[in-house]
Amino acid sequence: MNRQEYTSIGGDQRDFQTTHWTAIEQVRAGHSSHARILIGELLRAYWKPVYCYLRHRGFGNEEAKDLTQGFFQEVVLGRELVQLADRTKGRFRTLLLRALDRFLISANRRQTARKRIPPEKLIPLEDERIPELPAEIGPLNGEDAFNYAWISELLDRMLVEVKTECLRDGMALHWDLFHDRVLRPIMDDRAPPPLAQLCATYGIEEATTASNMIFAVKRRFQSALKRHLRQSVACDADVAEEIHELSRFLTHRRQYRK
Amino acid sequence: MENESIHGLRLDQLADVFSIGTDDPDPAGADGHDEKMAGPLREQLSCVLPKGSLLFDALIMMMGRLGCDVRSLAGRSLLEVLLSPHTDIGLLQAIKDCGKRLSAGLDSRMEAAMATTIYYAALASALVHHQRKITQYSYDALDRSFTTFAAKKWIAPELATLFQRAGGICRDKRGTDASQ
C-alpha cells in the first residue's frame, strides 16, 4: 500500500474498551456479543500483519489474501484461537502468529483455503488497499515482518485517533503544528522546519507556545499508545515492558535501513 | 489523518514515529555519539547551576511547576546533584521530567541523547539514594538500560558507577514490579 494512501478496513476507529484477553475470556464463557466485538477488533488490528507475514513467506498477492481470509474464518471465527488463548503464556500477537503457523502447515491449506469459505462469509479484502512491505525489510524473518506490519497498523490507527481527538477538542492548531514539526518531517525524511517558521505560518507569537502545543499532542499520542498496547497484553504492568520491547525491535532493525 | 499512512515507511522512520509515543526516552537514542558525547556531557554535568542553557532553563521551569525550591541548585553542578545522597527526591523527579521532555523536543540529536542520559541518571539516583523507582519501567527494563549506559565509552566514571549500582538494585528487585 502506498504510504500516502489511507485505509479504513475494519470499520471505524473507535477505541475498544476491553482488552483482547478479557474479551477472549468472555467469549469462552459463552457471551456471544463479545465474540462479535472481538472478531471485529482482531480483524482491524491484525489482518495486515497476517497478510504481510504470508507475503514475506513467499505467497503471492492472491494466495496471501486467500490464506488471510482462511485464517480469520477458520481459526479466529472458528474459535480455535479462543480455545488456545492463555494470557499467562505471552503476548497476544505471539499467540496469533503461532496459530497462523499451525494453520499454514495443515494439509492442503494453500489449495483449499478459499473454496472452503462460503462466499457470503468472505472478508472483503478486495475492497481495501493491500499493504506492501518496503524492500528494506527483505532481510527480516517472517515474525519481524509481522511485527513491522503490526506496529505500522497500530501507529496508523493511533494517529487517526489522536487527530480526531484534537479536532474534537478544539486543538486543530495543535495538531497542525505537531504534524508539520514532528510527523511530516519523519515521513518525508527531512529536517523539521524551525519553530520560528511555523510560528510565522500559523500566527503564533512565542516559540515556547508552539513548543508547548506540540508537546500537548505528543502527550495524547503517548496516552493513545499505552491505551492501545494495553489491549494486547495481560496486565497494566506489561505495557511499559511492551513499549520497551517494541523500541528494541525497531532500534535493532535499524541496521536494515536504506 | 487524510491521505497519510504509516504503512510503507522504512524501519528507522517507523522507529521515529513510535518514539513519539514513548514518554520514557529510549536509551538507544544515546547511541552513535561515542566520539562526540564525552566532552559536551561532562561540560553540561559540570556546569554550576543555574546556567542559562536550554537544559538548565527547562530544569528550573520544571522545578517551579513541581514546587521545588530552585535555591537548592545554587552553586551546585548537575553531576553533584545527581550523585549526592542528600538530593531531594522531588528534585530528582524534576530532573527526570526535564530530561524526558528535552530528549523528545531538542533539535540536536546529540543534545537529545545527553538529555536521555540525564533522565536515566535521575532514575538511577532515585533508586540508589532513595530506594525509589520513579518510572513505570520494570526493573528488568531498567537494568538493561542502566547496563547499557554504564558501558558507554563517553559516560563519566562517576555516572558509570551510579548506573552500575542502580543496575544491581534492579537485579535484586527483579520480579517485584507488580508490588510497586
Decide: helix, strand or coil at residue A160. helix
What's the pLDDT at B131?
Answer: 93
- pLDDT reported for residue A108: 55
> Are B7 and A48 contacting, i.e. CB atoms less than 8 angstroms apart?
yes
CB neighbour list of residue B57: distance below 8 Å, 6 or more residues apart: B50
Segments forming the whole domain that contains residue A223: 20-256
**Residue appearing with cell numbers 538511577:** B124
Position B3 scores a pLDDT of 54
Interface-testing mutation among A176, A187, A198, A236, with chain B (most B C-beta atoms within 10 A) = A187
Query: Higher pLDDT residue, A76 or A103?
Result: A103
3-state helix, strand, coil in chain A (%, to 5): 70, 0, 30
| Residue B72 C-alpha from the chain's centroid | 20
Domain membership of residue A189 (yes or no) is: yes
Instruction: Summarize chain B as % helix, strand, coil (round to 5).
Output: 65, 0, 30
Per-residue pLDDT, A258: 35
Per the CB < 8 Å rule, is B4 touching A240?
Answer: no
Quick one: pLDDT at residue A179? 93
pTM for the whole structure: 0.59
Is A55 within a domain? yes
Pick the residue with more confidence: A232 or A253?
A232
Q: Is residue A39 included in any domain, yes or no?
A: yes
| Contact at CB, B23 and A239, closer than 8 angstroms | no
CA distances from B30 to A185, A187, B100, B111, B125 (A): 21, 22, 13, 9, 19
Quote the crossing angle between the two packed helices A207-230 and B11-20, to the nearest 10°: 100
Q: Which range has highest mean pLDDT (A102-106, A141-145, A146-150, A189-193)?
A: A146-150
**What does each C-alpha distance from A200 to A171, B105, B108 come to in angstroms?**
18, 19, 22
For residue A19, give how far its alpha carbon lies from the nearest alpha carbon of chain B (Å). 19
As given in the structure block, the three cell numbers for residue B105 are: 523536543
* Measured distance CA(B95)–CA(B80) in Å, rounded: 13
The mean pLDDT value for A154-170 works out to: 93
Residue A246 maps to a domain: yes
In the stretch 12-51 of chain A, residues with CB closer than 8 A to chain B read: 48
> Chain A residues with CB inside 8 Å of B3's CB?
4-6
Q: Supply the pLDDT for residue B14.
A: 84
Is A134 within 8 Å of B16 when comparing Cβ atoms?
Answer: no
Is A246 within 8 Å of chain B by CB?
yes
| DSSP-based three-state secondary structure for B73 | helix
Cβ distance B24 to A243 less than 8 Å, yes or no, reads yes
Q: Does B57 touch chain A (CB under 8 A)?
A: no
> Is there a domain that residue A136 lies in?
yes
**What is the tens place of the pLDDT at every residue in A19-76?**
777 777 777 777 767 667 777 777 778 888 888 888 888 888 888 888 888 888 777 7
Mean pLDDT of A143-161: 88
Grid coordinates given for A100:
497462523
Q: Which of residues 149-208 of A touch B (CB under 8 A)?
A: 149, 151-153, 155-156, 158-160, 163, 182-183, 186-187, 189, 192
Residue A4 located in a structural domain: no
**Residues 6+ positions from A92 with CB-CB distance below 8 Å:** A20, A21, A85, A232, A233
* Residue A34 forms part of a structural domain: yes
Q: Over 50: is that where the pLDDT of A257 sits? A: no
Tens of each residue's pLDDT in chain B, 180 residues: 555 778 788 887 888 888 788 755 555 555 544 555 666 666 666 665 555 566 666 667 766 666 666 666 667 788 888 999 998 888 888 888 777 777 665 555 566 677 788 889 999 999 999 999 988 777 887 888 898 888 887 788 899 999 999 999 999 987 665 444
Asked if residue A77 has pLDDT above 60, the reply is: yes
Overall number of domains in chain A: 1
Specify the pLDDT at position A10: 35
ipTM value of the model? 0.75
For residue A107, the model assigns a pLDDT of 43
Sort residue B150 into left (φ over 0), alpha (ψ -120 to 50) or beta.
Answer: alpha
Q: Helix, strand, or coil here: A220?
A: helix
**How many other CB atoms sit within 10 Å of the CB of residue B171?**
14
- How does pLDDT run across A163-201, given as a tens digit for each residue? 999 999 999 999 999 999 889 988 887 777 877 889 999
In a domain, A13, yes or no: no
Q: Could you say which residues from 78 to 137 on chain A have a Cβ atom under 8 Å away from some Cβ of chain B? A: 131-132, 134, 136-137
Burial class (CB in 10 A: 0-12, 13-18, 19+), A88: exposed
How many A/B residue pairs have CB atoms within 8 Å? 142
